[in-house]
Amino acid sequence: MPDDILLTDLRDNVLILTLNRPSKLNALSPDLLKRLAEELEAADADDSVKVVVFYGGEKVFAAGADITAMAQLNPTGVLQSGTRGYWKRIWDFGKPMIAAVRGIAFGGGCELAMSCDLIVASESSQFAQPEIKLGIMPGAGGTQRLAAAIGPYRTMEMVLTGEPISAQEAHDAGLVNRLVPDEKVLEEALALAATIAQRPQVAVRLARQAVRYGVERTLLDGLKMERRNYRMLYDTEDQKEGMAAFLEKRDPQFKDR
């Protein structure tokens, strides 16, 4: 179904999941996250899937979580929204994941790319954690996974200013595995996926698990603090103002409370 919010395509043991909300820049609505989680759960149990590639089409990877679904939430609402459970299913997926990024990967879109094991990016793509401009902060691992990938100083600049970095900067900083011309992104991601799919899968699974364990284990406390602070921000006037301003297409008037 071409108008489905998530397109699936299984090619030679590689499952391509294409986010398909182009009119909303692939914003990760609760429905879309749920679909992603469900597809991954099925893929985990399906031996014909060896690698998953996340793609957002030719224009945009994803502009983050869907702000319309978040604007009115309070901390309890964040807790009850169920989206964290969908994210967790993405993080718990047991097979290699590759992000094929064209266009912007912002906020939750950047965090989705960083949830993957490898990132292939087009030369014109951009990465950002712009949540600060909405009165919130990254909440799906951005503060920790970005720092693990590119170091605390560059992360601090991105998280505190909300400004994007180019694909070239992301590549130089170690966030992007392969930087390729725009039209080659999916092809390159699929070539990487094909190589991994040809390796012995028990070894792939266990090697991946060991690498991830080493990295993620050191992030656990930080992720806990990120989760708590992220939720706390939904108790502020600035979060309500920041998100209302985005939806009303105006500049926010923050009051620092």
Catalytic residues: 65, 108, 111, 131
Stretch binding ligand CO8 (CB under 6 A), from 3-11, 58-66, 150-158, 176-184:
58-66
User: Does 64 sit near ligand CO8 (CB under 6 A)?
Assistant: yes
CA distance 102 to 123: 8
Q: Among 20, 35, 54, 83, which residue interacts with ligand CO8 (rule: CB under 6 A)?
A: 83
User: Does 134 sit near ligand CO8 (CB under 6 A)?
Assistant: yes
Show contacts with ligand CO8 in window 18-57 (CB under 6 A). 24-25, 27
Stretch binding ligand CO8 (CB under 6 A), from 39-47, 114-122, 127-135, 212-220:
127-135
Show contacts with ligand CO8 in window 135-194 (CB under 6 A). 139-140
Q: Among 20, 130, 155, 167, which residue interacts with ligand CO8 (rule: CB under 6 A)?
A: 130
Stretch binding ligand CO8 (CB under 6 A), from 45-53, 105-113, 171-179, 189-197:
105-113
Stretch binding ligand CO8 (CB under 6 A), from 42-50, 79-87, 143-151, 182-190:
79-87
The encoded tokens of residue 12 equal: 């030679």
142-148: list long-range contacts, CB under 8 Å, 24+ apart. 142/107, 142/110, 142/111, 142/114, 142/226, 143/222, 143/226, 144/219, 144/222, 144/223, 144/226, 145/111, 145/114, 145/115, 145/219, 146/110, 146/114, 146/175, 147/222, 148/215, 148/218, 148/219
**Cβ–Cβ under 8 Å, residues 127 and 173:** no
Cβ 101 to ligand CO8, closest distance in Å? 14
CA distance 56 to 35: 14
Cβ 86 to ligand CO8, closest distance in Å? 8
Contacts of 69 (CB under 8 A, 6+ apart): 29, 30, 81
**Cβ–Cβ under 8 Å, residues 114 and 146:** yes
Q: Among 55, 106, 127, 234, which residue interacts with ligand CO8 (rule: CB under 6 A)?
A: 106
Q: Which of 134, 129, 94 is nearest to 112 (CA)?
A: 129
Output 55 or 106, the one with its CB closest to ligand CO8.
106
Residue type, 225: M
Contacts of 173 (CB under 8 A, 6+ apart): 149, 150, 151, 154, 165
CA distance 34 to 103: 23
Output 199 or 224, the one with its CB closest to ligand CO8.
224
Cβ 88 to ligand CO8, closest distance in Å? 9
Output 54 or 106, the one with its CB closest to ligand CO8.
106
**Run of H or E including 85:** helix 83-91
Total number of residues that touch ligand CO8 (CB under 6 A): 21
CA distance 60 to 105: 7
Cβ 197 to ligand CO8, closest distance in Å? 30
Residues that bind ligand CO8 (CB under 6 A): 24-25, 27, 63-68, 83-84, 87, 104, 106-108, 130-131, 134, 139-140
